[in-house]
Amino acid sequence: MKTSPVKASAGAAGHPAGSAASPARRPVPQAAQVPAHVPEKAPHEAARHPDAGSVETSGGKNVEQSGAPASGTRRKKAPVQVRAQLLQAASDIATDHGVQAVTLDAVAERAGVTKGALQYHFANKQGLLDALFEQTLERFDAQMEARIAADRNDPHGASARAYLHSTIDETSPAASTNVLRVLVAAMMTDPEIRERHSAPMRKWTRPDPLPLEHAARLMICRLVADGLWISDLLGYQNLSPELRDEVVRQIERMTVLER
């Protein structure tokens, strides 16, 4: 008698009859899919300062700036702009109320920033004052150089004339003149401030490399300018405009050396 062939059950092909079915096949891992159209950041973009190109939301979070800022956001100020605001606030307070009134709290409030933002730029009051006075001296020095370059009179007296007008010419005062007066007043009473900031000022009043008689005359002009300036600072002289103009005119005439 012929034996009927045993039909293998579906899914068990290739295995002996009655054996257990083979375990399910493991899925072949696929490569991680990369989202399409994602541009790679340039190195300079990935390393930039976290505040650069961002805005601060009303909740205090920074979000990447893309075109116009969204509603309810405000642009963060650049560090250079904040530093300039702080120095201007310190300048205003020093001019109006004196150096003793320049405190971190007062400057931060006037500049409209937090005290922490101020201390990011200036750790303490001394650092703030040093930066303010250094900026003032740089501006005065720039004004001196500009006046000397524009002077068309006797070149030997150009430096003395520039000093005269940079200190006492009220028709075209330097933006830093008031702060410079505050600095000079502070130098009179504070030896540390005097020692720290007197060196840059000496180059404006150093003797000219001229024969003794001429060098002495130009030094007299500078000292008279100092006297007028200190008089204005302390407010004890009430010169009429006519008398003051004549004093300045005679000083100018002294700076033109004989040929």
Task: Note whether 100 and 158 are same-domain residues.
Answer: no
Does the residue 37 lie in any domain? no
Q: What angle do CA 137, 142, 147 make, to 5 degrees?
A: 125
**Of all helices (H) and strands (E), which one includes residue 199?**
helix 191-205
Task: Note whether 227 and 146 are same-domain residues.
Answer: yes
pLDDT at 106: 94
Residue of 253, 162, 152 whose CA lies nearest to 205? 162
Q: What is the CATH number of the domain that holds 151?
A: 1.10.357.10
CA atoms within 13 A on the CB side of 114: 4
Q: What is the 3-state secondary structure (H, E, C) of 7-30?
A: CCCCCCCCCCCCCCCCCCCCCCCC
Tell me the residue type at 128. Answer: L
**CA gap 74, 248 in Å, rounded:** 51
Does the residue 21 lie in any domain? no
pLDDT band at 142 (very low <50, low <70, confident <90, very high): confident
pLDDT at 152: 87
Q: Which two tokens stand for residue 16?
A: 């002996």
Does the residue 92 lie in any domain? yes
Q: pLDDT tens digits, residue range 161-204?
A: 999 998 886 655 555 567 777 777 778 788 888 888 787 778 88
Residue with the larger pLDDT of the pair 54 and 242: 242
**CA gap 185, 234 in Å, rounded:** 9
Residue with the larger pLDDT of the pair 79 and 254: 254
What range does the domain containing 87 cover? 75-123
Q: pLDDT tens digits, residue range 63-114?
A: 444 444 444 444 466 888 899 999 999 988 988 888 888 999 999 999 999 9
Place of tokens 């006492």: 168
Task: Note whether 245 and 144 are same-domain residues.
Answer: yes
Task: Note whether 165 and 199 are same-domain residues.
Answer: yes
pLDDT at 112: 92
pLDDT at 113: 92
What does pLDDT average to over the chain?
73
Task: Note whether 116 and 142 are same-domain residues.
Answer: no
pLDDT at 172: 52
Q: pLDDT tens digits, residue range 221-251?
A: 999 998 888 887 777 778 888 998 899 999 9
Q: Is the pLDDT of residue 32 over 90?
A: no
Q: Is the pLDDT of residue 60 over 70?
A: no
Does the residue 129 lie in any domain? no
* Total domains present in the chain: 2
pLDDT at 77: 66
**CA gap 200, 86 in Å, rounded:** 23
**CA gap 132, 38 in Å, rounded:** 48
- Percent of the chain having pLDDT more than 90? 27
Does the residue 30 lie in any domain? no
Q: Are 247 and 228 in contact (CB under 8 A)?
A: yes
